[in-house]
Amino acid sequence: MSQAKLSRVDALEQLKAAVAAFVDDAKMALGSVEMETRRVVDRLNREQPFYWLQQIKAGRDEFAEAKASLARKRLQKTDNYIPDTSEEEKAVRRAVAKIENAERKLEAIKVWTRRIEQSWNDYQGPSGQLADVVGGTPARAIADLNRLIKAVDAYLQVQAPTAPLEAGDEPYREAASMARPLTEAPESAAENPSDEAEAKEA
């Protein structure tokens, strides 16, 4: 594997700045989505059902009043007089339509509440993973980059020189002397063989 050619951590610092900006945007987006979703769910669970239940109650009251008005108008009928009940009949139909519309709205709210809650549950898995990455102080992603930058900087401080040693360099001479073959005779013995012979005769 080729040696990594790392000379500075500028690129990592730029990446960290970009990630920091992303973290801020992600936190804001996650907060906005959660706040808006909770507002909609609260409205569907409380405000809207209460409103349409009130409309159903009002429609039933109007229906009862319209039916009573229609009945009173019909009581005016005689052999020579047939009262016009068209307005009362319209009022009855309007009240019935109001009740039916409110009941449909109430049922639609129940359906949409279930759908939104299911969608919210599906959303919380991925959003929770993102929140875990961008959460904390500092954010986990920034903390990971900080550790990486420190590791790279430490590596650069101890990196060995890449230029090869020349024959005249001091480290090269020291290495050459340490690599002398074991079979090579000591210098003093090679220069004075007669001294060794005299020592044996003695």
pLDDT tens sequence across 128-169: 888 877 776 667 777 888 888 888 777 777 755 555 545 555
In a domain, 96, yes or no: yes
Residue 99 lies in a domain: yes
- Which one, of 96, 106, 98, 94, lies nearest residue 51 by Cα? 106
**CA distances in angstroms from 105 to 14, 52, 67, 100, 158, listed in the order given:** 53, 7, 24, 9, 72
Per the structure, the count of domains in the chain is 1
Residue 18 banded pLDDT, cuts 50, 70, 90: confident
As a whole number, mean pLDDT of residues 49-57 equals 94
CA dist 184 and 180 (Å) reads 7
Instruction: With respect to residue 130, please indicate whether it lies within any of the assigned structural domains.
Output: yes
**156-178 burial string, b = 16+ CB within 10 Å, else e?**
eeeeeeeeeeeeeeeeeeeeeee
Cβ neighbours of residue 138 closer than 8 Å, sequence gap 6 or more: 146
Q: Do the domain assignments include residue 49?
A: yes
pLDDT digits (tens, 9 = 90+) for 65-103: 999 999 998 888 888 888 898 999 999 999 999 999 999
The answer to the question of residue 23 being in a domain is no
Among 7-11, 14-18, 84-88, 166-170, top mean pLDDT goes to 84-88
Evaluate whether residue 185 is within a structural domain: no
Q: Answer yes or no: is 178 within a domain.
A: no
pTM for this predicted structure = 0.53
Residues contacting 99, CB < 8 A, separation 6+: 56, 59, 60, 63
Per-residue confidence at 178, pLDDT binned at 50, 70, 90?
A: very low
Assess if residue 17 is contained within a domain.
no
Residue 162 is predicted with a pLDDT of 54
- The domain of 130 spans 28-135
Mean pLDDT confidence for 118-135: 83
What is the mean predicted confidence (pLDDT) over 50-60?
95
With cut-offs at 50, 70 and 90, classify the pLDDT of residue 45. confident
pLDDT value of residue 202 = 46
